[in-house]
Chain A
Amino acid sequence: MSSFDFADLQNSFEKEIAQVGDVFSLEELRVKYLGKKSLVALALSSLKSLSDEERPLVGKLANELKNKISALIENKKSELQDNAFEVCQLDISLPSIKLPLGTEHPVTIVMKEICGIFVKMGFTIMEGPEIESEDNNFTGLNIPLDHPSREAFDTFYLKGDELEAGSSKLKDKKEKKRLLRSHTSPVQVRVMKENRPPLAIVVPGKVYRPDAVDASHLFMFNQVEGLLVDKNVKFSDLKGALTHFAKELFGSEIKMRFRPHFFPFTEPSVEVDVSCIICKGKGCSVCGHKGWLEILGAGLVHPAVFKYVGYKDKEFTGFAFGMGVERIAILKYGINDIRLFFENDLRFLKQF
């Protein structure tokens, strides 16, 4: 008698084909039962070793099984193809799955926008190091050690490898000390030392001040600085450049005002306000009911700064300005807490 239980084979095949859900599994099954090394193939090849009486019997059963399996496979195949065809009955005009996209950080967006406005006016973007010398951060900008305005510029000094916050008054008075720059103005000094006018640069970058962190202050934030030096640069040139800038950034309907102020590295100095973009000047909580929002500090470059960088007295005049990027972003987007910029919360960042 044959050692092949054909009924058993058929049963196990029927069980397995019921589990098949796709054409790949079906093909695997076909190979298993009907392929060169399959059980059915083995049965057929063993026919020649059988006796003359057994041969027709076993042969018949083997062929029957083979045909049955083939038929079932064909059935299943067309069944699967029909289903596949049904599944394809999709509305391809529907929108696709939304893929996750990275976006620019709001500070980056605003910084690019600010720099872009000045680049279009002919300014060049320059950058400088965040670790600066006391010379470039203070002395070169007409801020000597004992000057009262130093009090306003408490700084992060580097002590060996550690950072140390505090005023420099009672410390080692060597002016070559290194610190984390408290404003982007040192880059003005760097650029002027290496280049002769005419110069028109805009300097974005991070700055550091030991402020207590709250809804409107951070110890690390971003500024954009600007400097233009040439012969016969006038205050009206400064007003024109800044007026154009503010209108490009906030819209042409805004009003501006320039208030006298003080910076050790500019004379005269001003603070620049725009009419509040929320209440349009009527007064609201955003502008502290003043109707004006302060956006910039600016002025004509102080002669002492020109002297420090080696320009001849009265050879050139220039203007400089600086602004806080986070502050502009807060005004532009209506954000109520500056800390959101550095908390890396995707729920916030995804909105830009």
Chain B
Amino acid sequence: MKFTYNWLKDYLKIRISSEKLANELTMSGLEIKSIEKHGSDFVFEAEVTPNRPDCLSIIGVAREICALTGEQMSLPKTTPLKNKKLKEKVNVNITDVGACSRYLGLIIRGVQVAESPVWLKERLLAIGLRPVNNIVDITNFCLFELGQPIHAFDLDKLSGGIQVRFAREAEELITIDGVKRSLNKEVLVISDRERVAAIAGIM
């Protein structure tokens, strides 16, 4: 799990050097495996143990540092969506609530797929991700910043809403990395009426 010194500073004041910060985190249980200089920034690589999934996001690590240093944390500013924007609903159907307890969807119109701004691309590159376009980059950014996986679907290509279900035996999918995969009944997938779009929570 990678994060950078400057990115952390978006959420709290850091008054100690990158080395000292790495040591504090290591001694608290989030072992910093390496620190690399990246321009004016420092990239930390941490080993997140299975009992600390809260540290799988930048905000999570920031929260941990606040606990260690006593600093105040400032979360990203958000504005609530106004009701009229939510008139159009996505049809979401979860077939097995035990496998997936909650799935949220939102329709956003007037989207232009384009190249991401430089600051966003640099943030992603620093933590080892490859920028693709503004939509994909935003979803990746949110995943790493907040620890919440999100995925963007092209509404034009979705027929009949989202279904969260188990795959059929030998059902096929070409995942976002370009690999063709043969699925089975134990794999939870996100699909529309016609085909599988993604392996739930993975890709």
A259–B29 CA distance with the chains assembled, in angstroms: 6
Given contacts A148-B50, A149-B50, A152-B50, contact A259 B186 (CB under 8 A): no
- For residue B27, which residue of chain A has the nearest CB? A259
Q: Is the CB of A262 within 8 A of B51?
A: yes
Number of residues on chain B facing chain A (CB within 8 A)? 11
* A257–B52 CA distance with the chains assembled, in angstroms: 21
Q: Does B54 contact A (CB under 8 A)?
A: no
Hey, which chain B residues are within 8 Å of A101, CB to CB? none
A4–B49 CA distance with the chains assembled, in angstroms: 105
Q: Which residues of A contact B186 (CB under 8 A)?
A: 170
**What are the residues of chain B within 8 A of A148 when measuring CB–CB?**
50
Q: What is the distance, in angstroms, from A274's C-beta to the closest C-beta of chain B?
A: 15
**B28 part of interface (Cβ distance < 8 Å):** yes
Select A260's contact among B29, B50, B184, beta carbons within 8 Å. Answer: B29
**Pair A259/B31 contact, Cβ less than 8 Å:** yes
Flag whether B159 is at the interface (Cβ < 8 A): no
Interface presence of A261 (CB below 8 A): yes
Compute how far the CA of A262 lies from the CA of B30 in the bound complex, rounded to whole angstroms. Answer: 10
A258-276 vs B, Cβ < 8 Å mask (1 yes, 0 no): 0111101000000100000
Q: Does B26 contact A (CB under 8 A)?
A: yes
| Cross-chain contact A257 with B49 (CB below 8 angstroms) | no
Nearest-neighbor residue (CB-CB) of A264 within chain B: B50
In chain B, positions 48-63 with a C-beta closer than 8 Å to chain A are: 49-52
Q: How far is the CA of A264 from the CA of B29 in the complex (A)?
A: 15
C-alpha gap A260/B49 in the complex (Å): 10
Note all chain B residues with C-beta closer than 8 A to A152: 50
CB <8 Å contact, A262 and B50: yes
Q: Whose C-beta in chain A lies nearest to the C-beta of B31?
A: A259
A257 touches B29 (CB 8 A): no
Chain A nearest CB: distance from B66 CB in Å?
A: 18
> What residue of chain A has the Cβ atom nearest to residue B187's Cβ?
A170
> B26: nearest residue on chain A (CB-CB)?
A259
Which residues of chain B come closer than 8 Å to A264, judged between CB atoms? 50
Query: Please, what's the 1-or-0 string for B174-203, where 1 marks a CB less than 8 Å from any CB in chain A?
Result: 000000000010100000000000000000
**Nearest CB in chain B: distance from A174 CB, A:** 15
Specify which of B28, B31, B49, B184 lies most central, judged by the most chain A CB atoms within 10 Å of its CB: B49
A262→B27 contact, CB < 8 A: no
From B28, B52, B184, A262 is in contact (CB under 8 Å) with: B52
Q: Tell me the bound Cα distance from A209 to B49 in angstroms.
A: 19
Measured between beta carbons, the chain A residues less than 8 angstroms from B52 are 262
Which residue of chain B has its CB nearest to the CB of A258? B27
- Tell me, rounded to whole Å, the shortest Cβ–Cβ distance linking A312 to chain B: 26
Q: How far is the CA of A267 from the CA of B171 in the complex (A)?
A: 42
User: Given the complex, which residues of B lie within 8 Å of A261, measured CB to CB?
Assistant: 29, 31, 49
Residues of B close to A259: CB separation below 8 A: 26-27, 29, 31
Provide the residues of chain B in CB contact with A262, threshold 8 Å. 29, 49-52
Bound-state Cα–Cα, A147 to B51, Å: 11
CB-based nearest A residue for B32: A290
How many Å lie between the Cα of A149 and that of B48 in the bound state?
11
**Smallest beta-carbon distance A290→chain B, Å:** 9
Interchain CA distance A170-B167 in the complex, whole Å = 14
CB distance from A195 to the nearest CB of B (A): 30
Tell me, in angstroms, the Cα distance from A260 to B29 when the chains sit together. 4
C-alpha spacing A271/B31, complex, angstroms: 10
Nearest Cβ in chain A — how far from B46, in angstroms?
A: 13
Mask, A157-183, CB within 8 Å of B = 1, is 000000000000010000000000000
Chain A residue nearest to B51 in the complex (CB): A262
Residue interface bits B16-28, CB-to-A below 8 A is 1, else 0: 0000000000111
Report A-chain residues with C-beta under 8 Å of the C-beta of B28.
260
CB distance from A351 to the nearest CB of B (A): 33
> CB within 8 Å of A: which of B107-142?
none
CB under 8 Å from chain A, chain B span 30-44: 31
Chain A residues positioned under 8 Å from B49 (CB to CB): 261-262
7 closest cross-chain pairs (CB), A and B: A260-B29, A262-B49, A262-B51, A149-B50, A148-B50, A262-B50, A259-B27
Given A170-B186, A257-B27, A259-B29; 12 other pairs, CB 8 A cutoff = A147-B50, A148-B50, A149-B50, A259-B26, A259-B31, A260-B27, A260-B28, A260-B29, A262-B49, A262-B50, A264-B50, A271-B31
Could you write out 24 A-B pairs with CB less than 8 Å apart?
A147-B50, A148-B50, A149-B50, A152-B50, A170-B184, A170-B186, A257-B27, A259-B26, A259-B27, A259-B29, A259-B31, A260-B27, A260-B28, A260-B29, A261-B29, A261-B31, A261-B49, A262-B29, A262-B49, A262-B50, A262-B51, A262-B52, A264-B50, A271-B31
B residues with CB within 8 A of A: 26-29, 31, 49-52, 184, 186
A residues in contact (CB < 8 Å) with B: 147-149, 152, 170, 257, 259-262, 264, 271
